[in-house]
């Protein structure tokens, strides 16, 4: 197998979701450590720790325990999924076609395109815009947040438009700079924190608050799961799966845990205002002015690092739906489209950030957990077999076990266990104390229940429907063709 040097990082990545040929494979598994560290070094990560204490009523140490559990689960799944990329050189939501079928895969691919390309993009852009605006003028008048938002979004779109190699290069260097800055900020935050005080006047520990925090942390860390192989598919097929898995898992877990812990610590300080989280995190009571300046810069750059991945993979998921776009730069064009739409959504979300973000994190876990249960079981049932005849767009492969299991598991788990501002599940509501702003005694178990139901149901339906299984893996071709609906113009 011949492996050539990659093109210049500033060269625009052509095509869409085609399988990556051996001649274009490059890189080391350990580059994924930076790839999955840099996008988490942003304020949206910090705020998960804040809501654990300020909104869910946990004390500092119970919050840390819940954060570790949620991030460990999200990091582990990130590592496992990343190992799938090099074998066929395919994006994550393309690999999902084996479990959902060519058309059934429109369901998870469409959801992820909306969540990644628009939802996450808006959330991170808002935090970056607030940081940039506050850096210029704490009163937010010299550089209004809408103007700061435009600057942040333009930089994000440029990175995603150019493509994979520039995104990887940016993540590699930003992970070092952002890591150092946030570590400095975290040291000052921990030094000022009151880690023995519970948040919000609640008990230091409640199971409801604990499960909500686990769900929120998992929703954040696992939010990267549907992108995992998008950034490992360029690695050589001979790359070590163990190194790939550990690099992706550790990058995700460590960065999320350290910053969420800093958020939880900041929320224990008297006077911390979760309604104005960015200003509160860099307040004089937590850090000196010079650390405030570099932290605000890091928050803005971190938003760009996160959204370069969000827009890039949002475009990949959109193309995985099977829509034919007859242009050589179709991935880049779709990335710009998502960036523009995401900007409009972000512009409308500059107000009421806290409650919206909390619900958003849990909703992400609501759909990703059932999807994970299905694709993991599907992978186990297909071990040792080729997928070359199943994933091409023109194969029109059907597997209704995936969509059925996904819909049933998602609907049932949300109906019974969801804890949202606008909807509380039947069982969650039955365990909620009759007092204002109370949380269910069981918290939010939607993701766990959805994962189990989806996995079990998919296994049963797979055996019942008997969808097509490919031939021996040893006979799989070196390059799978026809994956992108517009492969003929690639």
Comparison of pLDDT for 388 and 354, the residue scoring more: 388
Under DSSP, is residue 424 helix (H, G, I), strand (E, B) or coil?
Answer: strand
Q: Closest Cα partner for 180 from 282, 255, 263, 264? A: 255
Question: What mean pLDDT do residues 411-439 have?
Answer: 83
Locus of tokens 């739409």: 341
Class of domain 27-358: mainly alpha
Q: Classify residue 198 by its DSSP letter.
A: B
Contacts of 78 (CB under 8 A, 6+ apart): 36, 221, 222, 224, 225, 228, 248, 249, 252
Q: Cα angle at 35 between 32 and 37, to 5 degrees? A: 105
- Each residue's pLDDT tens digit, 269-326: 877 787 777 888 888 989 999 999 999 999 999 988 888 888 888 777 877 877 776 6
CA 201 to chain centre: 31
Confidence of residue 463 (pLDDT cuts 50, 70, 90): very high
pLDDT(212) > 70 = yes
Under DSSP, is residue 469 helix (H, G, I), strand (E, B) or coil?
Answer: coil
pLDDT(486) > 60 = no
Q: Closest Cα partner for 292 from 138, 441, 453, 98? A: 138
- Each residue's pLDDT tens digit, 161-205: 777 678 778 888 898 999 999 999 999 999 988 876 544 444 478
Q: Closest Cα partner for 218 from 450, 465, 453? A: 450
- Each residue's pLDDT tens digit, 215-232: 999 999 999 999 999 999
pTM over 0.85: yes
Q: What is the pLDDT of residue 217?
A: 95
CA distance 307 to 300: 11
CA distance 309 to 317: 12
- Each residue's pLDDT tens digit, 5-45: 445 665 565 556 788 999 889 899 999 999 999 999 988 89
Under DSSP, is residue 101 helix (H, G, I), strand (E, B) or coil?
Answer: strand
Calculate what percentage of the chain has a pLDDT beyond 70. 87
pLDDT(72) > 90 = yes
Q: What is the pLDDT of residue 280?
A: 86
Domain boundaries, the chain: 27-358
Q: Which two tokens mark 307?
A: 């959204």
Question: For residue 472, what are the β-bridge partners?
Answer: 385
Q: What is the pLDDT of residue 3?
A: 41
Burial of 433 (C-beta count, 10 Å sphere; 0-12/13-18/19+): exposed
Confidence of residue 353 (pLDDT cuts 50, 70, 90): low
CA distance 339 to 154: 8
Q: What is the pLDDT of residue 226?
A: 94
């Amino acid at each position: 197998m011949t492996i050539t040097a990659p093109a210049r990082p500033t060269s625009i990545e052509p095509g869409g979701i085609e399988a990556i040929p051996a001649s274009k494979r490059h890189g080391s598994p350990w580059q994924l450590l930076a790839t999955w560290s840099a996008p988490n070094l942003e304020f949206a990560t910090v705020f998960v720790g804040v809501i654990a204490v300020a909104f869910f009523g946990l004390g500092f140490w119970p919050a840390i325990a819940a954060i570790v559990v949620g991030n460990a689960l999200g990091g582990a799944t990130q590592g496992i999924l990343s190992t799938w990329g090099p074998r066929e050189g395919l994006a994550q939501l393309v690999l999902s076609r084996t479990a959902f079928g060519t058309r059934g895969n429109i369901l998870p691919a469409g959801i992820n395109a909306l969540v990644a390309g628009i939802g996450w993009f808006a959330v991170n852009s808002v935090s970056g815009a607030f940081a940039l605006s506050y850096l210029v003028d704490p009163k937010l008048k010299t550089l209004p947040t809408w103007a700061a938002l435009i600057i942040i979004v333009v930089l994000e779109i440029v990175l995603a438009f150019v493509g994979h190699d520039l995104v990887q290069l940016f993540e590699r260097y930003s992970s070092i700079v952002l890591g150092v800055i946030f570590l400095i900020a975290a040291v000052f935050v921990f030094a000022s924190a009151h880690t023995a005080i519970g948040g919000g006047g609640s008990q230091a520990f409640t199971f409801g608050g604990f499960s909500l925090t686990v769900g929120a942390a998992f929703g954040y860390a696992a939010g990267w799961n549907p992108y995992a192989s998008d950034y490992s598919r360029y690695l050589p097929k001979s790359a070590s799966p163990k190194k790939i898995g550990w690099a992706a898992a550790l990058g995700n877990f460590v960065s999320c845990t350290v910053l969420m812990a800093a958020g939880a610590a900041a929320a224990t300080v008297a006077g911390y205002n979760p309604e104005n989280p960015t200003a509160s995190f860099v307040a004089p009571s937590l850090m000196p002015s010079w650390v405030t300046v570099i932290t605000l810069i890091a928050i803005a750059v971190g938003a760009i690092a996160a959204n370069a991945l969000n827009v890039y993979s949002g475009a990949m998921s959109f193309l995985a739906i099977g829509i034919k776009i007859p242009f050589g730069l179709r991935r880049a064009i779709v990335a710009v489209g998502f960036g523009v739409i995401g900007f409009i959504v972000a512009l409308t979300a500059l107000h009421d950030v806290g409650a919206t973000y909390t619900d958003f994190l849990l909703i992400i876990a609501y759909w990703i957990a059932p999807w994970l249960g299905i694709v993991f079981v599907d992978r186990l049932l297909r071990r040792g077999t080729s997928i070359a005849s199943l994933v091409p767009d023109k194969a029109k492969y059907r597997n209704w076990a995936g969509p059925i299991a996904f819909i049933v598991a998602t609907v049932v788990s949300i109906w019974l266990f969801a804890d949202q501002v606008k909807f509380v599940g039947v069982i969650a509501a039955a365990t909620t104390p009759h007092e204002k702003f109370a949380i269910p005694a069981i918290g939010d178990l939607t993701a766990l229940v959805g994962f189990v139901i989806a996995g079990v149901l998919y296994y049963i339906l797979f055996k019942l429907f008997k969808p097509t299984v490919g031939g021996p893996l040893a006979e799989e071709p070196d390059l799978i063709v026809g994956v992108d609906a517009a492969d003929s113009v690639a």
